[in-house]
Structure 1
């Protein structure tokens, strides 16, 4: 499988159109289309970085499929950068059980996560501060 096939598959798996990927990455839709059709060569590492951000995937994975990494490097485990969930919720069209979430739905999800993790932080603080007998 060639780079352009893998790029197209990754984009479709994420549910993005070429235009959406272009908007998310800052890479032009025409260039992405040419890449996916095999009419362009392997993009530069800078372009791969932008595409990885737009696809919400690891840079090292794109570098690997583009052939920039040697096989010994490709077999190593790379840490992926954590995704900011609050930003992800706000900036993406999301679906849950076949229902597309409205901005209000996403706000409620964000609020619930805030409460969940606030409670978690409070309980871990209280167990750390308990005096030992």
Structure 2
């Protein structure tokens, strides 16, 4: 399987349309489409960085798929640690869309409150189960 097919498969596995990946990465939808169809050369490392962020995939993995890095015999991601994302900050600091609707600051605050309530409710339930 070549780079272009693997990129398409990664996008589809994440459940993104080309437009959604474009919105998430800042890479034009036309360019992504051309890449996936094999009508463009392997993208630059800068474009791969943007695509890795849009796909929430390790940059090193895309660099390997594109042929910039040699694949090793060790398991993938051995030396790569996924960055931790502060979900509260992510909600506050990004323009977000859900089901095609742009979320307002009030929407994002509501989501944050729901997540907080669910998170702490579950934490409380786990304390009841495991008192250690």
Q: TM-score range by the shorter chain?
A: 0.5 to 0.7
CA contact 1:4–1:35 (8 Å) conserved in 2: yes
Query: Any stretches of 5+ residues in structure 2 without a counterpart?
Result: 124-132
Question: 1:4 — aligned with what?
Answer: 4
- Select the structure that is richer in helix: 1
Indicate the residue corresponding to 1:22 in structure 2. 22
CA displacement at 1:111 relative to structure 2:
2.1
Larger radius of gyration: 1
SS in 2 for 1:71: coil
Q: Distance in 2 between matches of 1:113 and 1:15?
A: 22
Query: Is residue 2:42 matched to residue 1:38?
Result: no
Residue 91 of structure 1: which of 78, 87, 96 is its match? Answer: 96
What CA RMSD, in Å, does the superposition of the two structures yield over aligned residues? 3.3
Count of equivalent residues: 114
1:114 matched to which residue of 2? 116
| 69-78 or 6-15, larger mean C-alpha shift | 69-78
For 2:38 and 2:3, locate their aligned partners in 1 and report how far apart those are by CA, in whole Å. 8
Q: Which moved more, 1:23-32 or 1:65-74?
A: 65-74
Offset at 1:112? 4.5
Which consecutive unaligned segments of at least 5 residues does structure 1 have? 95-102, 121-133
Contact preservation (8 Å) 1:64, 1:74? no
CA gap 1:74/1:31 in 2 versus in 1, 3 angstroms: farther
1:55: which partner in 2? 55
Please state how far the C-alpha of 1:51 moved relative to its aligned partner.
0.4
| Residues 58 and 81 in structure 1, CA contact (< 8 A), matched pair in contact too | no
- SS of the aligned residue for 1:68 comes to coil
Structure 1 equivalent of residue 127 of structure 2: none
